Amino acid sequence: MSTPKEKLLFKPNSSGVVSVCLAYPGTREVALANLGFQAVFRILATTPGVICERAYQPDPGQALLSYESKRAAGDFDILAFSLSFESDYPLVVAMLDSAGIPARRQARDQSDRGWPLLLAGGPACFLNPEPMAPFMDLFLLGEAEEMLAEAFESANSWRGVGGAAVLDALCRVEGAYRPSDCEPVYGDDNRLSDRGTREGAAGKVLRRYVKNLDDAGARTVVVAPDAVFGDKFLVEASRGCEWGCRFCAAGFMYRPVRHRDSGKVLADAKAGLEHSRDIGLVGAEMASHPGITRTCSDIADLGARVSPSSLKADVITPGLAAALARAGTRSVTVAPEAGSERMRRVINKNLSEDEILRAADMLAADGVESLKLYFMVGLPGEEEEDRQAIVELVTTIRDRLLSAGRKHGRVGSVKVSINPFVPKPWTPFQWDAMMPVAELKDVLRRLRRSLGRLDNVQVDADSPREAYLQTLLSRGDRRVADIIETLARADKDQWWGILREMARGGASESDSANGTINPDDYVTREYGGDELLPWDFIDQGIDRDYLWLERRRSQAAIETEPCDVTSCVTCGAC
């Protein structure tokens, strides 16, 4: 099979003292749609003393080889995994198996052969690395731009140095977490009772944060027409979000929000026009960027299409709607998240129905033909009328879009994406339980039936089983590694049966004598307010008491004002 055509927009090192294989647990087409993966590749491949190649999930039965030279992954000095999604953890173990590398750190340490050092980084890691801790030698927790450069700044002096010395050198960077520094202790109630930090090791690990994104902001550096987004050129415009939605990990883990200078964003977009006429602006929520209207307008003036990521409805202005239409944008994503205003107060969406409808009217009037709406179900405090409100809101938006379309001689459509709620670490909902899978399936079935009756409405719903797995891997401790390893070596269509069998045979909340765990204990159980959580050792800059207060406010359906990074110090991030 021929190698897919791609173009690097930077000059990688042709040689180096230390060899790094940067691995993505997924296909190449998916990896190259990930700006974080691209940014890390560029940093490593241009750091003096480092030669970096890439690896992707191999075809079944194939060995894990680097993309560039087809070198065996086990022959590199360092094998580094970029982890954005918890559900990819079993793929990591499967990739290690395909490389012939012992998955468990302890097995590698006891082996006579020298294996690559295994590193991991990415958003999933700095939320909670513990489920993957038995596999990795080192985690780099936080944003990579400054941390990676510091970690590898002495790479030129590593010639002839053993792996243990290299690991020691990497561990000196702030944000480095060596899992062998801890041996967690579990109590009679099967809960984590102590981190078991070894003498001399740090009790807390600081999550790294890049204050100024203007120069660090990511953009496409590997142009590949066969990537998931095609030849769309991606430009990071912001990182984080000021709105504080209580379910959203990105809104808390990237605090405080940073917006790149509009001139920098536009300059990157102009550079991208040499390779594509389709520019994607990336950020957690783009309508709040202070220069978004001007940026979209300027890109439209250059004859290109612009596609910003999700827009918060009440921040969409007539000018932004007009700029998007002029830039040829035919589909816009808006995330009401909940159907009722009460539920939006619970999750702190700060968004009324009138504001949602006003945004839909503006976008439709200016030529947007399709709206994609994101909703969640199974949220804490959710009731049946809140779910029915989703149907009512979609119906109203659909009617307005069709009415505007008829005036302009086109047919509008609404795409509805419904996602089960997954409680994430470092959010006010980190203590809350996920709704049981059987109940979620029933909720989704009824919503599909109601929405399916509406013409020009398409419905897509995430799998409750996938949400269960994501919750397990998000909130798990080191014992979950056993589950990850089991799933990695089984067919994916067997995963749910394996998890159910573990739940039936695993330890109950009051019985851990057999040393096994019940996956339900991590997923459908509400965590205690004073419980030691597996991720508590990370210093995210967010006060735990603040998260607990936000949870209390959600239970009273009280909204919190968006972040004011100039004066507010309430959450601890500023």
Tens digit of each residue's pLDDT (9 = 90 or more) over 82-103 = 999 999 999 999 999 999 999 9
What percentage of the chain carries pLDDT values higher than 90? Answer: 82
Residues 291 and 365 in one domain: yes
Residues 56 and 137 in one domain: yes
Q: Which residue has the tokens 């984080």?
A: 240
pLDDT at position 506, please? 57
Q: Is residue 537 situated within a structural domain?
A: no
pLDDT at position 570, please? 79
Mean pLDDT of the chain: 93
The tens digit of pLDDT for each residue in 521-563 reads: 999 999 999 999 999 999 999 999 999 999 999 999 999 998 8
CATH number of 83's domain:
3.40.50
Using pLDDT thresholds of 50, 70 and 90, give the confidence band for residue 111. confident
**Torsions phi, psi for 36 (to 5 deg):** -60, -45
User: Which residue from 247, 493, 258, 517 is spatially nearest to 379, judged by alpha carbons?
Assistant: 247
Q: Is residue 516 situated within a structural domain?
A: no
Q: Could you say which DSSP state residue 347 is in? A: T
Choose the weakest-confidence range: 134-138, 375-379, 566-570. Answer: 566-570
Residue 35 tokens, joined:
């700006």
Residues 164 and 280 in one domain: no
Q: Is residue 397 situated within a structural domain?
A: yes
Residues 6+ apart with CB under 8 A from 350: 243, 314, 344, 559, 561, 562
**HEC profile for 138-197?**
EEECECHHHHHHHHCCCHHHCCCCCHHHHHHHHHCCCCEECHHHECCEECCCCCEEECCE
pLDDT at position 511, please? 39
Residue 510 has pLDDT above 70, yes or no: no
Residues 283 and 327 in one domain: yes
Q: Which residue has the tokens 């203007």?
A: 214
Residues 419 and 301 in one domain: yes
Q: Is residue 354 situated within a structural domain?
A: yes
Alpha-carbon distances, residue 222 vs 32, 35, 79, 232, 239 (angstroms): 7, 10, 20, 11, 21
Residue 219 tokens, joined:
């953009």
Residue 458 has pLDDT above 70, yes or no: yes
Q: Is residue 240 situated within a structural domain?
A: yes
Residues 259 and 164 in one domain: no
Residue 107 has pLDDT above 90, yes or no: yes
Residue 113 has pLDDT above 60, yes or no: yes
Residues 155 and 251 in one domain: no
Q: Which of 132-141, 284-293, 364-373, 564-573 is most confident?
A: 132-141
**Torsions phi, psi for 371 (to 5 deg):** -115, 135
The tens digit of pLDDT for each residue in 337-370 reads: 999 999 999 999 989 999 999 999 988 888 788 8
How many domains, the chain? 2
Cα separation, 194 vs 177, in Å, equals 17
Residues 193 and 236 in one domain: no
Q: Is residue 500 situated within a structural domain?
A: no
pLDDT at position 404, please? 82
CB 46 within 8 A of CB 228: no
pLDDT at position 2, please? 53
| Span 478-491, average pLDDT | 97
Residues 162 and 252 in one domain: no
Residues 172 and 317 in one domain: no
Q: Is residue 484 situated within a structural domain?
A: no
| Span 419-427, average pLDDT | 98
Q: Which domain holds residue 92?
A: 9-206
Residues 51 and 176 in one domain: yes
What percentage of the chain carries pLDDT values higher than 70? Answer: 97
Cα separation, 315 vs 327, in Å, equals 19
- Exposure of 316 by Cβ count < 10 A (0-12 exposed, 13-18 middle, 19+ buried)? buried
Cα separation, 395 vs 390, in Å, equals 9
CATH number of 420's domain:
3.80.30.20
Using pLDDT thresholds of 50, 70 and 90, give the confidence band for residue 409. low
Residue 514 has pLDDT above 70, yes or no: no
Alpha-carbon distances, residue 296 vs 282, 287, 322, 405 (angstroms): 13, 11, 9, 23
Q: Which residue has the tokens 């100024």?
A: 212
Using pLDDT thresholds of 50, 70 and 90, give the confidence band for residue 330. confident
Alpha-carbon distances, residue 562 vs 35, 311, 381, 521, 571 (angstroms): 26, 15, 22, 33, 12
275-300 in b/e form (b: 16+ CB < 10 A) is: ebebbbbbbbbbbbbebbbbbbbbbb
CB 20 within 8 A of CB 52: yes
Q: Pick from 149, 172, 206: which residue ends a domain?
A: 206
Residue 126 has pLDDT above 60, yes or no: yes
Using pLDDT thresholds of 50, 70 and 90, give the confidence band for residue 239. very high
**HEC profile for 522-557?**
HHCCCCCCCCCCCCCCEECCCCHHHHHHHHHHHHCC
Residues 111 and 188 in one domain: yes
Q: Is residue 482 situated within a structural domain?
A: no
CB 67 within 8 A of CB 60: no
Q: How many other C-beta atoms can be found within 10 angstroms of the C-beta atom of residue 201?
A: 15
